[in-house]
Amino acid sequence: MKIVFFDTKKYDQDSFERIAGSYPELEIEYLDTDLSTHTVSLAAGADAVCAFVSSDVGTDVVNALADQGVKCILMRCAGFNNVDLKAARERGMTVLRVPAYSPEAVAEHAMALALAVNRHIHKGYIKVRENNFSLQGLTGINFYGKTAGIIGTGKIGVAMARICQGFGMKVIAYDKFPNPGLDFLEYKTLDEVLTQSDLISLHCPLMDDTYHLINKETIEKMKDNVVLVNTSRGALIKTEDLIAGIRERKFFGVGLDVYEEETDNVFENREDDILEHSVTARLLSFPNVIVTSHQGFLTEEALEAIAHTTLQNAMDFKNDTIKKQNQVS
């Protein structure tokens, strides 16, 4: 079974190569370029393609893959909002994903962002590097005793909730499908989470009803000086409304590992480029905003889990033993 990997970074290839010997029936070709309408022809002759969060797996790409005989799309991530599942089903293609690789990795990064914007770690680091040991502008707030609002209590959300509990925070949460086994947090309505939380962390999937979940209306309901963190999907937040809220000093700090318009930037070195999108540039201009490049998943443990699950998904597809929880189409 031949698999063409798109948008392969060195850390991707290293993690897959370490275990590839355990899957001798799989032939893997690694490509630097990402999957798009311009590159889909590179999948010719493959049984499957492996894509990532920034890949274009829309209608045109799915149809082109099917025309070339590709039968399976392997997503080496949990999210699949960039895949046209309807087109895949119509063309008889199977779409598999990695539903859980290391929830703790993303949750730990979410808390790292919250702590960094709260305690101005980024500012303090730069100041000391320039021999400026003044504490001016570095005052934060205690998380201990405050309220953490978790929106989305899947595995990552639960991991973040446990971290917040460990910090001595009261944990409240919103999810359309509450988990009755989580006795250490209290489920509330979305409005209650927005109005009562000192820290809000987003962990819900991007769907029609969560698109721009954070917007002018919901921002207005938040406490003043709230800390907002998003490590899920960029389009959960309407960026123009977020920027307006930042300018109105609604937020003590904002930590983003994902953001709208990230597609052209994520995982790429653009240090010599001028960013085309003014929205991204404006986000980067605020002193109380930290943006990282979708690195929440990036730990050795997570990369190993992603590699194992992705290659096992390929073998399960080949042997017609697909695990239901890994299949989205």
pLDDT at residue 262 in the model: 61
Does residue 134 have a pLDDT over 70?
yes
Residue 279 has what pLDDT? 78
> Is 76 a catalytic site residue?
no
- For 176, the enclosing helix (H) or strand (E) is none
Q: From the candidates 233, 260, 261, 308, which is the catalytic residue?
A: 233
- Which pLDDT does position 326 carry in this prediction? 96
- CATH of the domain spanning 2-101+299-326: 3.40.50.720
Report pLDDT digits (tens) over 292-305: 989 999 999 999 99
Mean pLDDT score, 134-155:
97
Name the active-site residue from 76, 203, 294, 308: 294
- Side by side, which strands form the sheet with 186-187? 186-187, 170-174, 147-151, 199-202, 226-230, 251-256, 289-291
Task: Say if residues 110 and 256 touch (Cβ distance below 8 Å).
Answer: no
Inform me whether the pLDDT recorded for 267 exceeds 70: no
**282 carries an active-site annotation:** no
CB-based contacts of 85-91 (< 8 A; 24+ apart in sequence): 85/328, 85/329, 87/58, 87/59, 87/62, 87/63, 88/62, 88/329, 89/329, 91/62, 91/63, 91/66
Percentage with pLDDT > 70 across the chain: 95
Higher pLDDT, 273 or 255: 255
Ordered by start, the domain boundaries in the chain are 2-101+299-326, 103-291
262 belongs to the catalytic site: yes
Half-sphere exposure of 44 (CA within 13 A, CB side): 4
Task: Please indicate whether the domains covering 2-101+299-326 and 103-291 agree at the CATH topology level.
Answer: yes
Q: Which helix (H) or strand (E) holds 174?
A: strand 170-174
Q: What does DSSP assign to residue 135?
A: -
Q: Indicate the pLDDT class of residue 280, thresholds 50, 70 and 90.
A: confident
Choosing from 76, 261, 262, 308, which is the catalytic residue? 262
270/299: higher pLDDT: 299
Rounded to an integer, the average pLDDT of 242-266 is 88
The rounded percent of the chain whose pLDDT value lies above 90 is: 88
Q: What is residue 53's predicted lDDT score, i.e. its pLDDT?
A: 86
pLDDT digits (tens, 9 = 90+) for 175-194: 999 999 999 999 999 999 99
pTM of the model: 0.87
Task: Calculate the average pLDDT of the chain.
Answer: 94
Q: What is the pLDDT of residue 263?
A: 58
Residue 154 pLDDT greater than 60, yes or no: yes
Q: What is the pLDDT of residue 297?
A: 93
Query: What H or E segment, with its residue span, contains residue 329?
Result: none
The span from the CA of 135 to the CA of 56, in Å, is 46
Return the pLDDT at 114.
Answer: 98
Of the candidate CATH numbers 3.40.50.720, 3.40.50.12590, 3.30.9.10, 3.40.50.150, the domain formed by 103-291 belongs to: 3.40.50.720
Each residue's pLDDT tens digit, 213-251: 999 999 999 999 999 999 999 999 999 999 999 999 999
- Residue-wise pLDDT for 281-291, tens only, equals 889 899 999 99
